[in-house]
Structure 1
Amino acid sequence: MTGLEISGASAADMALFTAWADEEGWNPGDTDRFAFAVADPEGFLLGRVDGKPAACISAVRYGPGFGFIGFYIARPEFRGQGYGIQLWRAGMDRLDGRLVGLDGVVDQQDNYRKSGFLHAWNNVRYEGVPQGSADPGGAGPGVSVVDAATLPFARLAAYDRRFFPEARDAFLAAWTGLPGRTALAAVREGRIEGLGVIRPCSGASRIGPLYAATPGIAAALLHGLAERAGGPVAVDVPDANPAATALVEQLGMAPTFEAARMYTGPAPEVDLAGIYGVTSLELG
Protein backbone atom coordinates (compact mmCIF):
# COMPACT_ATOMS: atom_id res chain seq x y z
CA MET A 1 0.00 0.00 0.00
CA THR A 2 1.30 3.41 -0.92
CA GLY A 3 1.94 5.55 2.16
CA LEU A 4 -0.41 8.26 3.33
CA GLU A 5 1.09 11.70 3.85
CA ILE A 6 -0.78 13.58 6.57
CA SER A 7 -0.53 17.35 6.94
CA GLY A 8 -2.42 20.29 8.38
CA ALA A 9 -5.04 21.76 6.08
CA SER A 10 -4.55 25.02 4.19
CA ALA A 11 -7.33 27.46 3.35
CA ALA A 12 -7.61 25.83 -0.07
CA ASP A 13 -7.80 22.41 1.59
CA MET A 14 -10.64 23.62 3.80
CA ALA A 15 -12.59 24.56 0.68
CA LEU A 16 -11.93 21.02 -0.56
CA PHE A 17 -13.29 19.56 2.70
CA THR A 18 -16.48 21.56 2.17
CA ALA A 19 -16.84 20.36 -1.43
CA TRP A 20 -16.38 16.74 -0.38
CA ALA A 21 -18.94 17.12 2.42
CA ASP A 22 -21.39 18.60 -0.08
CA GLU A 23 -20.86 15.60 -2.39
CA GLU A 24 -21.66 13.33 0.56
CA GLY A 25 -25.02 15.10 0.87
CA TRP A 26 -24.21 16.80 4.18
CA ASN A 27 -25.12 20.28 2.89
CA PRO A 28 -22.45 22.30 4.74
CA GLY A 29 -22.76 26.06 5.03
CA ASP A 30 -21.18 28.07 2.25
CA THR A 31 -18.87 29.90 4.67
CA ASP A 32 -18.65 27.43 7.55
CA ARG A 33 -14.96 26.81 6.90
CA PHE A 34 -14.04 30.36 7.91
CA ALA A 35 -15.56 29.88 11.36
CA PHE A 36 -14.11 26.37 11.61
CA ALA A 37 -10.58 27.62 10.95
CA VAL A 38 -10.60 30.00 13.90
CA ALA A 39 -11.99 27.35 16.28
CA ASP A 40 -8.68 25.46 16.12
CA PRO A 41 -6.38 26.31 13.21
CA GLU A 42 -4.40 23.09 13.62
CA GLY A 43 -7.44 20.86 13.97
CA PHE A 44 -7.97 19.99 10.29
CA LEU A 45 -5.94 17.21 8.68
CA LEU A 46 -5.62 16.15 5.04
CA GLY A 47 -4.22 12.84 3.85
CA ARG A 48 -2.57 12.58 0.43
CA VAL A 49 -1.55 9.54 -1.59
CA ASP A 50 1.15 10.21 -4.17
CA GLY A 51 0.36 13.90 -3.76
CA LYS A 52 -3.35 13.46 -4.45
CA PRO A 53 -5.89 14.44 -1.75
CA ALA A 54 -7.40 11.19 -0.48
CA ALA A 55 -9.06 11.75 2.91
CA CYS A 56 -9.78 14.41 5.53
CA ILE A 57 -10.76 14.72 9.16
CA SER A 58 -11.19 17.46 11.76
CA ALA A 59 -10.04 16.97 15.35
CA VAL A 60 -10.83 20.23 17.08
CA ARG A 61 -9.72 21.03 20.62
CA TYR A 62 -12.02 23.05 22.85
CA GLY A 63 -10.66 24.29 26.17
CA PRO A 64 -8.53 21.94 28.26
CA GLY A 65 -10.72 18.85 28.21
CA PHE A 66 -13.03 18.50 25.21
CA GLY A 67 -12.59 17.67 21.53
CA PHE A 68 -14.78 16.99 18.53
CA ILE A 69 -14.24 14.80 15.46
CA GLY A 70 -15.82 15.72 12.12
CA PHE A 71 -15.27 15.89 8.38
CA TYR A 72 -14.23 12.22 8.37
CA ILE A 73 -14.26 11.52 4.64
CA ALA A 74 -12.25 9.24 2.38
CA ARG A 75 -12.66 9.77 -1.33
CA PRO A 76 -14.44 6.83 -3.00
CA GLU A 77 -11.38 5.71 -4.98
CA PHE A 78 -9.31 5.49 -1.78
CA ARG A 79 -11.78 3.62 0.41
CA GLY A 80 -11.10 0.13 1.70
CA GLN A 81 -7.33 0.59 1.56
CA GLY A 82 -6.61 1.62 5.13
CA TYR A 83 -6.09 5.33 4.49
CA GLY A 84 -9.17 6.44 6.39
CA ILE A 85 -8.23 4.58 9.55
CA GLN A 86 -4.72 6.07 9.45
CA LEU A 87 -6.17 9.54 9.35
CA TRP A 88 -8.69 8.63 12.05
CA ARG A 89 -5.88 7.57 14.37
CA ALA A 90 -4.00 10.80 13.69
CA GLY A 91 -7.09 12.81 14.60
CA MET A 92 -7.78 10.82 17.75
CA ASP A 93 -4.14 11.08 18.79
CA ARG A 94 -4.48 14.84 18.61
CA LEU A 95 -7.37 14.65 21.10
CA ASP A 96 -5.75 12.13 23.42
CA GLY A 97 -6.75 12.58 27.05
CA ARG A 98 -9.93 14.54 26.27
CA LEU A 99 -13.59 13.67 26.22
CA VAL A 100 -14.31 13.43 22.48
CA GLY A 101 -17.62 13.84 20.70
CA LEU A 102 -18.81 13.28 17.15
CA ASP A 103 -21.95 13.02 15.05
CA GLY A 104 -21.77 9.65 13.31
CA VAL A 105 -23.62 8.79 10.11
CA VAL A 106 -25.63 5.58 10.31
CA ASP A 107 -23.24 3.34 8.33
CA GLN A 108 -20.24 4.27 10.53
CA GLN A 109 -21.78 4.02 13.99
CA ASP A 110 -20.66 0.43 14.63
CA ASN A 111 -17.07 1.43 13.80
CA TYR A 112 -17.28 4.33 16.23
CA ARG A 113 -18.51 2.00 18.96
CA LYS A 114 -15.49 -0.23 18.34
CA SER A 115 -13.34 2.86 18.91
CA GLY A 116 -14.93 3.41 22.31
CA PHE A 117 -17.70 5.89 21.48
CA LEU A 118 -21.02 5.64 23.32
CA HIS A 119 -24.38 6.68 21.90
CA ALA A 120 -25.89 9.74 23.60
CA TRP A 121 -28.78 10.75 21.32
CA ASN A 122 -29.66 11.21 17.65
CA ASN A 123 -29.57 14.50 15.78
CA VAL A 124 -32.34 14.35 13.18
CA ARG A 125 -32.34 16.88 10.37
CA TYR A 126 -35.76 18.35 9.64
CA GLU A 127 -36.29 20.34 6.46
CA GLY A 128 -39.04 22.43 4.94
CA VAL A 129 -40.75 25.80 5.13
CA PRO A 130 -42.12 26.24 8.66
CA GLN A 131 -45.89 26.47 8.66
CA GLY A 132 -48.11 28.56 10.89
CA SER A 133 -47.93 32.06 12.27
CA ALA A 134 -44.67 33.98 12.25
CA ASP A 135 -46.00 36.38 14.91
CA PRO A 136 -43.11 37.01 17.35
CA GLY A 137 -45.73 37.55 20.03
CA GLY A 138 -45.99 33.77 20.24
CA ALA A 139 -42.71 33.81 22.15
CA GLY A 140 -44.59 34.97 25.22
CA PRO A 141 -45.17 38.21 27.15
CA GLY A 142 -42.20 40.52 27.38
CA VAL A 143 -40.06 38.68 24.80
CA SER A 144 -38.46 40.65 21.97
CA VAL A 145 -36.68 39.10 19.00
CA VAL A 146 -33.68 41.25 18.08
CA ASP A 147 -30.60 41.20 15.89
CA ALA A 148 -28.03 39.35 18.01
CA ALA A 149 -25.33 41.71 16.72
CA THR A 150 -26.89 44.49 18.82
CA LEU A 151 -26.12 42.63 22.07
CA PRO A 152 -22.76 42.63 23.86
CA PHE A 153 -20.83 39.64 22.57
CA ALA A 154 -19.80 38.60 26.09
CA ARG A 155 -23.46 37.97 26.87
CA LEU A 156 -23.92 35.82 23.76
CA ALA A 157 -20.79 33.82 24.61
CA ALA A 158 -21.96 33.27 28.18
CA TYR A 159 -25.35 32.12 26.91
CA ASP A 160 -23.78 29.69 24.43
CA ARG A 161 -21.69 28.22 27.26
CA ARG A 162 -24.88 26.79 28.81
CA PHE A 163 -25.27 24.50 25.83
CA PHE A 164 -21.68 23.51 25.01
CA PRO A 165 -19.04 21.78 27.15
CA GLU A 166 -16.34 24.46 26.75
CA ALA A 167 -16.08 28.13 25.86
CA ARG A 168 -15.71 28.71 22.09
CA ASP A 169 -15.70 32.47 21.80
CA ALA A 170 -13.59 32.88 18.64
CA PHE A 171 -15.65 30.31 16.78
CA LEU A 172 -18.94 31.82 17.98
CA ALA A 173 -17.92 35.34 16.94
CA ALA A 174 -17.21 34.14 13.41
CA TRP A 175 -20.20 31.80 13.29
CA THR A 176 -22.71 34.51 14.17
CA GLY A 177 -21.06 37.36 12.26
CA LEU A 178 -19.94 36.06 8.87
CA PRO A 179 -21.43 37.87 5.85
CA GLY A 180 -24.67 36.40 4.57
CA ARG A 181 -25.73 35.07 7.95
CA THR A 182 -28.48 36.20 10.29
CA ALA A 183 -28.32 35.77 14.06
CA LEU A 184 -31.42 36.51 16.13
CA ALA A 185 -31.75 36.58 19.90
CA ALA A 186 -34.82 36.46 22.12
CA VAL A 187 -34.60 38.84 25.06
CA ARG A 188 -36.87 39.21 28.09
CA GLU A 189 -36.20 41.89 30.74
CA GLY A 190 -32.57 42.07 29.66
CA ARG A 191 -32.02 38.30 29.76
CA ILE A 192 -31.17 36.26 26.67
CA GLU A 193 -33.73 33.45 26.41
CA GLY A 194 -32.99 32.25 22.90
CA LEU A 195 -30.47 32.39 20.06
CA GLY A 196 -30.62 31.22 16.46
CA VAL A 197 -28.33 31.53 13.45
CA ILE A 198 -29.11 30.82 9.80
CA ARG A 199 -26.53 30.41 7.05
CA PRO A 200 -26.73 29.87 3.29
CA CYS A 201 -25.92 26.43 1.88
CA SER A 202 -26.03 24.77 -1.52
CA GLY A 203 -29.33 23.18 -0.43
CA ALA A 204 -31.76 24.26 2.26
CA SER A 205 -30.43 27.08 4.44
CA ARG A 206 -29.19 25.64 7.74
CA ILE A 207 -30.31 26.87 11.15
CA GLY A 208 -27.98 26.20 14.06
CA PRO A 209 -27.67 26.73 16.84
CA LEU A 210 -31.28 27.12 17.88
CA TYR A 211 -31.47 27.64 21.63
CA ALA A 212 -34.62 28.61 23.49
CA ALA A 213 -36.14 28.66 26.97
CA THR A 214 -39.55 27.57 25.62
CA PRO A 215 -41.03 26.05 22.45
CA GLY A 216 -42.76 29.38 21.76
CA ILE A 217 -39.44 31.21 21.75
CA ALA A 218 -37.90 28.53 19.54
CA ALA A 219 -40.80 28.85 17.10
CA ALA A 220 -40.49 32.64 16.96
CA LEU A 221 -36.76 32.41 16.23
CA LEU A 222 -37.21 29.65 13.66
CA HIS A 223 -39.91 31.60 11.82
CA GLY A 224 -37.84 34.78 11.93
CA LEU A 225 -34.78 33.03 10.52
CA ALA A 226 -36.78 31.21 7.86
CA GLU A 227 -38.24 34.52 6.66
CA ARG A 228 -34.68 35.70 5.96
CA ALA A 229 -33.98 32.55 3.93
CA GLY A 230 -36.98 32.92 1.66
CA GLY A 231 -37.12 29.18 1.07
CA PRO A 232 -36.73 25.82 2.79
CA VAL A 233 -34.59 25.57 5.90
CA ALA A 234 -32.97 22.67 7.74
CA VAL A 235 -32.30 22.23 11.45
CA ASP A 236 -30.55 19.32 13.22
CA VAL A 237 -32.79 18.48 16.16
CA PRO A 238 -31.59 16.41 19.15
CA ASP A 239 -34.18 13.72 19.78
CA ALA A 240 -33.18 13.85 23.45
CA ASN A 241 -35.28 17.04 23.58
CA PRO A 242 -38.84 15.81 22.83
CA ALA A 243 -40.17 19.38 22.83
CA ALA A 244 -37.85 20.23 19.93
CA THR A 245 -38.98 17.24 17.90
CA ALA A 246 -42.63 18.03 18.59
CA LEU A 247 -42.13 21.65 17.52
CA VAL A 248 -40.59 20.99 14.10
CA GLU A 249 -43.22 18.32 13.39
CA GLN A 250 -45.99 20.75 14.35
CA LEU A 251 -44.46 23.25 11.92
CA GLY A 252 -44.73 20.73 9.09
CA MET A 253 -41.04 20.02 8.65
CA ALA A 254 -39.93 16.52 7.62
CA PRO A 255 -36.94 14.37 8.68
CA THR A 256 -34.34 13.90 5.94
CA PHE A 257 -31.08 12.84 7.62
CA GLU A 258 -29.86 11.38 10.91
CA ALA A 259 -26.59 11.19 12.80
CA ALA A 260 -25.81 9.82 16.25
CA ARG A 261 -24.20 12.10 18.83
CA MET A 262 -21.58 9.91 20.48
CA TYR A 263 -18.92 10.49 23.14
CA THR A 264 -15.93 8.57 24.43
CA GLY A 265 -17.36 8.84 27.94
CA PRO A 266 -20.46 10.13 29.72
CA ALA A 267 -22.20 12.90 27.79
CA PRO A 268 -21.21 16.35 29.09
CA GLU A 269 -23.71 18.19 31.25
CA VAL A 270 -25.37 20.88 29.15
CA ASP A 271 -28.84 22.42 29.03
CA LEU A 272 -30.15 19.86 26.57
CA ALA A 273 -33.77 20.90 27.17
CA GLY A 274 -32.88 24.31 25.68
CA ILE A 275 -31.27 22.93 22.50
CA TYR A 276 -33.79 22.93 19.65
CA GLY A 277 -31.09 22.68 16.98
CA VAL A 278 -27.38 21.86 17.30
CA THR A 279 -24.80 24.25 15.90
CA SER A 280 -22.90 21.99 13.53
CA LEU A 281 -22.56 18.26 12.93
CA GLU A 282 -18.90 18.86 12.05
CA LEU A 283 -17.79 20.82 15.13
CA GLY A 284 -20.51 20.20 17.68
Structure 2
Amino acid sequence: MPTFEITTASADDLGMLGDWAHSEGWNPGLTDGQAFFAADSGGFLIGRLDGEPVTSVSVVRYGTRFGFLGFYLTRPSLRGRGYGMRVWRAGMARLSGRTVGLDGVPAQQDNYRRSGFRAAWGNARYEGVVPAGLAPPAGVTLADARTLPFARLAAYDRRYFPGPRDSFLAPWITGPGRTALCAVRDGELVGFAVLRACREASRIGPLHADSPEVAAALLSALAATAPDTAVAIDVPDVNPRAVRLVEQLGLAPSFDTARMYAGPVPEMDRSGMFGITSLELG
Protein backbone atom coordinates (compact mmCIF):
# COMPACT_ATOMS: atom_id res chain seq x y z
CA MET A 1 0.00 0.00 0.00
CA PRO A 2 1.31 3.51 -0.78
CA THR A 3 2.27 5.55 2.27
CA PHE A 4 1.01 9.15 2.44
CA GLU A 5 2.28 11.53 5.10
CA ILE A 6 2.16 15.28 5.67
CA THR A 7 5.41 16.95 6.71
CA THR A 8 6.56 20.47 7.42
CA ALA A 9 8.70 21.83 4.59
CA SER A 10 12.30 22.82 5.16
CA ALA A 11 13.90 25.97 3.79
CA ASP A 12 15.39 23.89 0.98
CA ASP A 13 11.94 22.55 0.09
CA LEU A 14 10.74 26.08 -0.72
CA GLY A 15 12.96 26.16 -3.79
CA MET A 16 11.23 23.02 -4.98
CA LEU A 17 7.82 24.62 -4.33
CA GLY A 18 8.86 27.65 -6.36
CA ASP A 19 9.83 25.44 -9.31
CA TRP A 20 6.58 23.51 -8.96
CA ALA A 21 4.53 26.72 -8.89
CA HIS A 22 6.34 27.92 -12.00
CA SER A 23 5.47 24.70 -13.82
CA GLU A 24 1.80 25.42 -13.00
CA GLY A 25 1.97 28.81 -14.73
CA TRP A 26 2.82 31.01 -11.74
CA ASN A 27 5.83 33.32 -11.78
CA PRO A 28 7.41 33.26 -8.31
CA GLY A 29 10.46 35.31 -7.42
CA LEU A 30 13.87 33.71 -7.67
CA THR A 31 14.61 34.20 -3.96
CA ASP A 32 11.11 34.46 -2.45
CA GLY A 33 11.69 31.37 -0.34
CA GLN A 34 14.06 33.17 2.01
CA ALA A 35 11.41 35.70 3.03
CA PHE A 36 8.63 33.10 2.99
CA PHE A 37 10.45 30.82 5.42
CA ALA A 38 11.33 33.76 7.69
CA ALA A 39 7.64 34.71 7.86
CA ASP A 40 6.63 31.40 9.47
CA SER A 41 9.00 28.45 9.32
CA GLY A 42 6.23 26.01 10.21
CA GLY A 43 3.77 27.35 7.69
CA PHE A 44 4.57 25.16 4.67
CA LEU A 45 3.14 21.65 4.46
CA ILE A 46 3.99 18.97 1.93
CA GLY A 47 2.06 15.77 1.33
CA ARG A 48 4.44 12.96 0.37
CA LEU A 49 3.44 9.71 -1.30
CA ASP A 50 6.08 7.06 -0.63
CA GLY A 51 8.43 9.93 0.18
CA GLU A 52 7.79 11.91 -3.02
CA PRO A 53 6.14 15.38 -2.80
CA VAL A 54 2.71 15.22 -4.44
CA THR A 55 0.73 18.02 -2.83
CA SER A 56 1.41 21.18 -0.81
CA VAL A 57 -0.10 24.17 0.92
CA SER A 58 1.29 27.20 2.76
CA VAL A 59 -0.57 28.38 5.85
CA VAL A 60 1.38 31.32 7.23
CA ARG A 61 0.39 32.91 10.52
CA TYR A 62 0.52 36.68 10.97
CA GLY A 63 0.09 37.85 14.54
CA THR A 64 -2.66 36.11 16.48
CA ARG A 65 -5.72 36.75 14.30
CA PHE A 66 -4.79 36.42 10.64
CA GLY A 67 -3.36 33.78 8.32
CA PHE A 68 -2.79 33.43 4.60
CA LEU A 69 -3.08 30.31 2.47
CA GLY A 70 -1.15 29.69 -0.74
CA PHE A 71 0.91 27.15 -2.68
CA TYR A 72 -2.11 24.85 -2.86
CA LEU A 73 -0.78 22.41 -5.45
CA THR A 74 -1.30 18.77 -6.36
CA ARG A 75 0.48 16.81 -9.06
CA PRO A 76 -1.90 16.60 -12.05
CA SER A 77 -1.68 12.81 -12.28
CA LEU A 78 -2.83 12.44 -8.67
CA ARG A 79 -5.69 14.92 -8.53
CA GLY A 80 -9.06 13.65 -7.45
CA ARG A 81 -7.65 11.06 -5.05
CA GLY A 82 -8.05 13.07 -1.85
CA TYR A 83 -4.38 13.86 -1.23
CA GLY A 84 -4.84 17.56 -1.80
CA MET A 85 -7.87 17.72 0.50
CA ARG A 86 -5.93 16.00 3.28
CA VAL A 87 -3.15 18.57 3.20
CA TRP A 88 -5.75 21.36 2.87
CA ARG A 89 -7.50 20.20 6.04
CA ALA A 90 -4.20 19.99 7.90
CA GLY A 91 -3.37 23.51 6.78
CA MET A 92 -6.73 24.97 7.76
CA ALA A 93 -6.44 23.27 11.17
CA ARG A 94 -3.15 25.15 11.64
CA LEU A 95 -5.00 28.43 11.02
CA SER A 96 -8.02 27.54 13.18
CA GLY A 97 -9.57 30.54 14.92
CA ARG A 98 -8.11 33.09 12.49
CA THR A 99 -9.45 34.99 9.53
CA VAL A 100 -7.78 33.32 6.54
CA GLY A 101 -7.04 34.98 3.21
CA LEU A 102 -6.00 33.57 -0.15
CA ASP A 103 -5.68 34.63 -3.78
CA GLY A 104 -7.58 32.07 -5.81
CA VAL A 105 -7.30 31.33 -9.51
CA PRO A 106 -10.67 31.14 -11.33
CA ALA A 107 -10.59 27.35 -11.65
CA GLN A 108 -10.43 26.90 -7.88
CA GLN A 109 -12.75 29.63 -6.63
CA ASP A 110 -15.86 27.43 -6.42
CA ASN A 111 -13.89 24.91 -4.36
CA TYR A 112 -12.79 27.67 -2.01
CA ARG A 113 -16.37 28.88 -1.64
CA ARG A 114 -17.40 25.40 -0.59
CA SER A 115 -14.74 25.63 2.13
CA GLY A 116 -16.22 28.86 3.48
CA PHE A 117 -14.26 31.50 1.56
CA ARG A 118 -15.93 34.55 0.01
CA ALA A 119 -14.54 36.91 -2.60
CA ALA A 120 -13.63 40.41 -1.39
CA TRP A 121 -12.14 41.78 -4.61
CA GLY A 122 -10.36 40.76 -7.79
CA ASN A 123 -6.68 41.04 -8.64
CA ALA A 124 -5.55 41.46 -12.23
CA ARG A 125 -1.92 40.96 -13.17
CA TYR A 126 -0.77 43.74 -15.50
CA GLU A 127 2.42 43.38 -17.51
CA GLY A 128 4.47 45.57 -19.80
CA VAL A 129 7.29 48.09 -20.00
CA VAL A 130 6.72 51.06 -17.69
CA PRO A 131 7.57 54.48 -19.13
CA ALA A 132 10.82 55.91 -17.82
CA GLY A 133 11.36 59.25 -16.15
CA LEU A 134 8.01 59.75 -14.39
CA ALA A 135 8.87 62.29 -11.70
CA PRO A 136 7.27 62.26 -8.25
CA PRO A 137 4.90 65.10 -7.27
CA ALA A 138 6.38 68.33 -6.01
CA GLY A 139 7.78 67.96 -2.50
CA VAL A 140 8.10 64.15 -2.76
CA THR A 141 11.49 62.46 -2.94
CA LEU A 142 12.30 58.82 -3.62
CA ALA A 143 14.91 56.96 -1.56
CA ASP A 144 16.25 53.47 -0.96
CA ALA A 145 13.78 52.01 1.53
CA ARG A 146 16.60 50.22 3.33
CA THR A 147 18.01 53.57 4.48
CA LEU A 148 14.94 54.25 6.63
CA PRO A 149 14.50 52.92 10.15
CA PHE A 150 12.80 49.58 9.63
CA ALA A 151 10.15 50.30 12.27
CA ARG A 152 8.87 53.24 10.20
CA LEU A 153 8.65 51.13 7.06
CA ALA A 154 6.88 48.30 8.88
CA ALA A 155 4.36 50.72 10.41
CA TYR A 156 3.55 52.14 6.96
CA ASP A 157 3.16 48.66 5.48
CA ARG A 158 0.80 47.77 8.32
CA ARG A 159 -1.78 50.23 6.94
CA TYR A 160 -2.23 47.95 3.93
CA PHE A 161 -2.00 44.46 5.42
CA PRO A 162 -4.20 42.70 8.00
CA GLY A 163 -1.43 41.60 10.37
CA PRO A 164 2.11 42.36 11.49
CA ARG A 165 4.68 40.86 9.13
CA ASP A 166 8.01 42.32 10.20
CA SER A 167 9.84 38.98 9.99
CA PHE A 168 8.69 38.62 6.39
CA LEU A 169 9.18 42.23 5.33
CA ALA A 170 12.81 42.55 6.44
CA PRO A 171 14.19 39.86 4.08
CA TRP A 172 11.64 40.80 1.41
CA ILE A 173 13.32 44.19 0.93
CA THR A 174 16.93 43.12 1.52
CA GLY A 175 17.18 39.81 -0.36
CA PRO A 176 19.25 39.39 -3.52
CA GLY A 177 17.79 40.58 -6.82
CA ARG A 178 15.55 43.16 -5.15
CA THR A 179 15.16 46.92 -5.18
CA ALA A 180 13.06 48.63 -2.51
CA LEU A 181 12.09 52.30 -2.75
CA CYS A 182 10.08 54.62 -0.56
CA ALA A 183 8.53 58.03 -1.19
CA VAL A 184 8.86 60.75 1.45
CA ARG A 185 7.13 64.13 1.84
CA ASP A 186 8.02 66.45 4.72
CA GLY A 187 9.65 63.57 6.54
CA GLU A 188 6.59 61.32 6.26
CA LEU A 189 6.28 58.14 4.21
CA VAL A 190 3.80 58.45 1.35
CA GLY A 191 4.79 55.38 -0.69
CA PHE A 192 6.68 52.10 -0.65
CA ALA A 193 7.38 49.50 -3.34
CA VAL A 194 9.63 46.50 -4.05
CA LEU A 195 10.81 45.02 -7.37
CA ARG A 196 12.15 41.48 -7.43
CA ALA A 197 13.66 39.28 -10.10
CA CYS A 198 11.39 36.39 -11.12
CA ARG A 199 11.62 33.40 -13.40
CA GLU A 200 10.07 35.52 -16.15
CA ALA A 201 9.15 39.21 -15.94
CA SER A 202 10.28 41.10 -12.85
CA ARG A 203 7.45 41.67 -10.40
CA ILE A 204 6.59 44.69 -8.31
CA GLY A 205 4.88 44.17 -4.97
CA PRO A 206 3.94 45.60 -2.68
CA LEU A 207 3.10 48.96 -4.18
CA HIS A 208 1.63 51.21 -1.51
CA ALA A 209 1.09 54.90 -2.23
CA ASP A 210 -0.92 57.86 -1.01
CA SER A 211 -1.73 58.92 -4.59
CA PRO A 212 -1.55 57.62 -8.18
CA GLU A 213 1.20 60.15 -8.92
CA VAL A 214 3.39 58.72 -6.17
CA ALA A 215 2.62 55.19 -7.32
CA ALA A 216 3.55 56.08 -10.91
CA ALA A 217 6.88 57.57 -9.83
CA LEU A 218 7.72 54.48 -7.79
CA LEU A 219 6.79 52.18 -10.68
CA SER A 220 8.88 54.19 -13.12
CA ALA A 221 11.93 54.35 -10.84
CA LEU A 222 11.80 50.62 -10.10
CA ALA A 223 11.34 49.68 -13.74
CA ALA A 224 14.39 51.80 -14.59
CA THR A 225 16.52 49.36 -12.59
CA ALA A 226 15.56 46.66 -15.11
CA PRO A 227 15.50 48.69 -18.37
CA ASP A 228 13.68 47.34 -21.43
CA THR A 229 12.36 44.46 -19.32
CA ALA A 230 8.68 43.80 -18.79
CA VAL A 231 7.41 44.09 -15.23
CA ALA A 232 4.31 42.52 -13.71
CA ILE A 233 2.13 43.83 -10.91
CA ASP A 234 -1.00 42.31 -9.33
CA VAL A 235 -3.49 45.16 -9.09
CA PRO A 236 -6.53 44.99 -6.75
CA ASP A 237 -9.70 46.20 -8.47
CA VAL A 238 -10.97 47.39 -5.10
CA ASN A 239 -8.81 50.47 -5.80
CA PRO A 240 -10.09 51.92 -9.11
CA ARG A 241 -7.28 54.48 -9.13
CA ALA A 242 -4.77 51.65 -9.32
CA VAL A 243 -6.50 50.07 -12.31
CA ARG A 244 -6.68 53.40 -14.14
CA LEU A 245 -3.01 54.04 -13.48
CA VAL A 246 -1.64 50.81 -14.95
CA GLU A 247 -3.93 51.14 -17.96
CA GLN A 248 -2.77 54.71 -18.54
CA LEU A 249 0.83 53.49 -18.37
CA GLY A 250 0.11 51.01 -21.15
CA LEU A 251 0.30 47.79 -19.13
CA ALA A 252 -1.94 44.93 -20.22
CA PRO A 253 -3.88 42.40 -18.08
CA SER A 254 -2.68 38.81 -18.34
CA PHE A 255 -3.86 36.81 -15.31
CA ASP A 256 -6.69 36.99 -12.75
CA THR A 257 -7.17 35.92 -9.17
CA ALA A 258 -9.70 36.75 -6.46
CA ARG A 259 -8.81 37.79 -2.94
CA MET A 260 -11.00 35.62 -0.74
CA TYR A 261 -11.45 35.39 3.01
CA ALA A 262 -12.83 32.84 5.42
CA GLY A 263 -13.97 35.01 8.30
CA PRO A 264 -14.47 38.76 8.52
CA VAL A 265 -12.89 40.81 5.74
CA PRO A 266 -10.01 42.71 7.38
CA GLU A 267 -9.93 46.50 7.48
CA MET A 268 -7.14 48.03 5.36
CA ASP A 269 -6.43 51.31 3.60
CA ARG A 270 -7.65 50.11 0.22
CA SER A 271 -7.26 53.52 -1.43
CA GLY A 272 -3.49 53.17 -1.12
CA MET A 273 -3.25 49.56 -2.35
CA PHE A 274 -1.81 49.80 -5.87
CA GLY A 275 -0.20 46.36 -6.00
CA ILE A 276 -0.37 43.37 -3.68
CA THR A 277 2.84 41.85 -2.34
CA SER A 278 2.58 38.17 -3.23
CA LEU A 279 -0.10 35.72 -4.36
CA GLU A 280 1.45 33.11 -2.07
CA LEU A 281 1.70 35.06 1.21
CA GLY A 282 -0.62 38.01 0.69
TM-score by length of 2: 0.98
Structure 2: runs of 5 or more not aligned: none
- Residue 253 (structure 1) aligns with: 251
Question: What is the identity, as a one-letter code, of the residue corresponding to 1:52?
Answer: E
Correspondence 1:72 to 2:72: yes
Residue of 232, 235, 242 corresponding to 2:240: 242
Query: Root-mean-square deviation (CA), in Å?
Result: 1.0
Question: What is the identity, as a one-letter code, of the residue corresponding to 1:151?
Answer: L
Q: Give the 5 Å matches for 1:195-210.
A: 195-210=192-207
Query: Which consecutive segments of 4 or more residues in structure 1 shift more than 4 A?
Result: none
Question: What is the identity, as a one-letter code, of the residue corresponding to 2:155?
Answer: A
Q: 1:232-266 CA distances to partner (integer Å, 9 max, x unpaired)?
A: 00000000000000000000000010110000123
Aligned-partner Cα distance in 2 for 1:240–1:2:
46
Residue of 142, 161, 164 corresponding to 1:164: 161
Post-superposition shift, 1:269? Answer: 0.4
- Residue 213 (structure 1) aligns with: 210
- Residue 224 (structure 2) aligns with: 227
Aligned-partner Cα distance in 1 for 2:99–2:133:
40
Aligned-partner Cα distance in 2 for 1:147–1:11:
28
Post-superposition shift, 1:3? Answer: 4.3
User: Contact 2:98–2:263 (CA<8 Å) still a contact in 1?
Assistant: no
The 3-state SS of whatever aligns with 1:149 is: helix
Q: 1:150-177 CA distances to partner (integer Å, 9 max, x unpaired)?
A: 1111100000010011111110001011
Work out the number of aligned pairs and report it. Answer: 281
Aligned-partner Cα distance in 1 for 2:125–2:264:
24
- Residue 276 (structure 1) aligns with: 274
Aligned-partner Cα distance in 2 for 1:23–1:256:
17
Question: What is the identity, as a one-letter code, of the residue corresponding to 2:209?
Answer: A
Question: What is the identity, as a one-letter code, of the residue corresponding to 1:104?
Answer: G
Aligned-partner Cα distance in 2 for 1:240–1:3:
44
Structure 1: runs of 5 or more not aligned: none
Aligned-partner Cα distance in 2 for 1:135–1:119:
34
Aligned-partner Cα distance in 1 for 2:212–2:170:
26
- Residue 33 (structure 1) aligns with: 33
- Residue 112 (structure 2) aligns with: 112
The 3-state SS of whatever aligns with 1:228 is: coil
TM-score by length of 1: 0.97
- Residue 134 (structure 1) aligns with: 133
Question: What is the identity, as a one-letter code, of the residue corresponding to 1:14?
Answer: L
Post-superposition shift, 1:12? Answer: 2.3
Post-superposition shift, 1:38? Answer: 0.6
